Amino acid sequence: MTPQNRKSVAIASFCLALPFLTACSTIGLTGGSSGSSTTTDSDGLTYVADYPTRAYQFADKNTADVYLTDLTDAELSAFFTESRDWSQISGTIAQIHLFLNPKPGSTPIEPTAASASIRWVVITQGEIGIYDGAGFMLPGRRVAKGYISGSIRNAPLRLTRSTPGFSDPLITPEIDIKFATKLDEQSADELASRVQALAAKATPTK
C-alpha cells in the first residue's frame, strides 16, 4: 500500500497474536493474472496497491469470491503463527464477493447499483483496519469457467472494524479495483480464513 501524496499514516506499534492454526499452506499464484486497487478519499489522499497473489472460487454462475493481496507468503503464513511480532508488517487484502452476475442489456447499471460487496483489510505496522463497501462489477468471463476478470469503480468504503491503535486517515474513501485470476479453491479458502481471523481481532467501530 503506497501513499501518493503528502499525507502519512501515523500508526502505533502493535504486536498481533492471531490464533495458532496448524492447517496452513503456502499461497502463491503466478502467471497470466493481475490485480490492483486505488483508494482515494475526499481530501485527496490516495493509496495504490498491486496484488501479486490472487485466487477465486465460485458457488454457482452468479456467486463467486475473489481474494487479492500484496502480503508475501511468509507474512500470510505468519497470520497463523503464535507470538509473531507484527509491528513490522504492513499490507492489504481485498475480498470481493460477487452476488449477482450482471447480464448486459438486461441488468440496469445505475450509480447506486451493486452486484458485489467489498472487504478491504489494511494492516499498518501490525494494526488492523477493516473497510466494507459495495459496488457494481461486471465479470470479464463466465464465473464458472476457471478464470475470472473484472473491475469495480468508485465503490464507497467505510471503516467498520479496527484494532485500538489503528489510525484511520481516509475521509469518505472510494476504491477502484481491477483483477484477473485463475480458479484456485484451496488458496481462496486459505485467504478467506486469514480475512476472518484478522476481522476477529478487530472490534466494531462506532
Question: Is 24 within a domain?
Answer: no
Question: Is 173 within a domain?
Answer: yes
Question: Is 143 within a domain?
Answer: yes
- For the chain (206 residues), the mean pLDDT of every run of 10, in chain order, is 37 28 41 75 88 91 90 78 78 91 60 82 92 84 78 92 90 91 92 92 91
Query: Residue 46 corresponds to which cell in the numbers above?
Result: 490516495
* Residue 15: predicted pLDDT: 27
Question: Is 1 within a domain?
Answer: no
* Residue 175: predicted pLDDT: 94
Task: Please calculate the CA angle 21-27-30 and round it to the nearest 5 degrees.
Answer: 175
Domain extent, residue 127, equals 29-204
Question: Is 53 within a domain?
Answer: yes
* Residue 158: predicted pLDDT: 94
DSSP string, 73-96: HHHHHHTTSTT---TT--EEEEEE
Q: Which residues contact 50 (CB under 8 A, 6 or more apart)?
A: 35, 36, 70
DSSP string, 29-77: --SS-EEEEEEE-TTS-EEEEE-SEEEEEEEETTEEEEEEE-S-HHHHH
* Residue 66: predicted pLDDT: 94
The closest alpha carbon to 193, from 76, 49, 71, 75, belongs to 76
* Residue 31: predicted pLDDT: 38
* Residue 33: predicted pLDDT: 57
Question: Is 14 within a domain?
Answer: no
Task: Please calculate the CA angle 113-185-148 and round it to the nearest 5 degrees.
Answer: 45
Hey, is 197 helix, strand or coil? Answer: helix
Question: Is 75 within a domain?
Answer: yes
* Residue 86: predicted pLDDT: 78
CA distance 151 to 106: 19
The 10s digit of each residue's pLDDT in 95-119 is: 999 887 666 555 556 656 788 999 9
Question: Is 13 within a domain?
Answer: no
The 10s digit of each residue's pLDDT in 81-94 is: 777 777 888 999 99
Q: How many domains does the chain have?
A: 1
**pTM reported for the whole predicted model:** 0.80
* Residue 101: predicted pLDDT: 67
